[in-house]
Amino acid sequence: MRNSNVSEIHLEQQEIDSAFLKRKVQVDFYLPANVERPEDMSLLLINDGQDMEKMGFKGILNEFCTRLKRTRPIFCAAIHCGTDRKQEYGVASVPDFAGRGSRALEYSRFIIEELLPFIEKSYFIPSFKQKVFAGFSLGGLSALDIVWKYPEIFSKAGVFSGSLWWRSIDQTEKEYDDDKHRIMHQEIRNGNYNPGQKFFFQCGNMDETADRNNNGIIDSIEDTMDIIDELVAKGYDRSKDISYLEYPDGKHDVDTWARAMPEFLGWAFA
């Protein structure tokens, strides 16, 4: 294949028969054209791939790659969620207080043991320069959890309006404590610093209205800022390893995430 100054993104839809999830998983592949060396590509996985058409992701990706001609080509796999989304997404090591996320381990095994080998075999790509995983809301929590648990595979995570409130006991319980019962915060606190990993977080001031401790900061923003603090305490550099994007008018919706997507792509790949 020849080089080109103009990126052309080709959309290809595939179904992968997953033994772990016991269902067929639809994956939309956004493929760059005119790539001379496939091993020069970066890989981007995205949860909730069914929302990419509404987002206009193909146009966003094409414009980004065309505008920044020095960017290494990006191979993107957008994974459609199943009907059991609240069970497949979450933190693999433990369900939340309501039992949600009970199949998150199987989902992570699908990603690592089925999807990645499928990509390498089906598209004849022996390796990628880097692997990045992103997601929205509960899909953002899932992406962060998988990146955190597989630092030898993934170098970056993108978390848009992440469900970082995921907790082991209900906040209405008298013993509930933010410092003890938010699951992903504990995962990071009890995990290891992984050199080279980087993290992107996006929030909107209109993500929600909940403010469980009545401090004037909505929970989604506070949960995100506290995750960032946990990463810094673990050894990550706040300015070099972590990016935080906040929109005063940002909502918990695809339109807001579409606005943030070029910022994320620039951070991850430019």
Positive or negative: CA dihedral 190, 142, 262, 152? positive
- Confidence band (pLDDT; 50, 70, 90) for 67? confident
Determine what percent of the chain is predicted with pLDDT higher than 90: 87
- Residues 19-46: tens digit of each pLDDT: 999 999 999 999 988 787 777 899 999 9
Q: What is residue 182's DSSP assignment?
A: B
Tokens in use for 49?
A: 């791939």
Coil vs helix vs strand at 256: helix
Q: Are strands 23-32 and 9-18 parallel, antiparallel or unpaired?
A: antiparallel
- Residues 86-97: tens digit of each pLDDT: 999 999 999 999
pLDDT of residue 184: 98
- Residues 196-233: tens digit of each pLDDT: 999 999 999 999 999 899 999 999 999 999 999 999 99
Q: Which bin fits 196, alpha (ψ -120 to 50), beta or left (φ > 0)?
A: left
Contact 154, 115 (CB under 8 A): no
Q: Which of these, 85, 8, 91, 18, lies nearest to 50 by C-alpha position?
A: 85
How many Cα neighbours within 13 Å face the side chain of 250? Answer: 22
Q: Strand (E) positions, the chain?
A: 9-18, 23-32, 42-46, 74-79, 131-136, 156-160, 198-206, 242-251
pLDDT of residue 126: 86
pLDDT higher than threshold 50 for residue 249:
yes
Tokens in use for 39?
A: 């091993």
Contact 203, 221 (CB under 8 A): yes
Tell me the residue length of the chain. Answer: 270
- Residues 179-190: tens digit of each pLDDT: 999 999 999 999
pLDDT of residue 96: 97
pLDDT of residue 38: 76
pLDDT of residue 1: 31
CA 117 to chain centre: 19
Contact 239, 194 (CB under 8 A): no
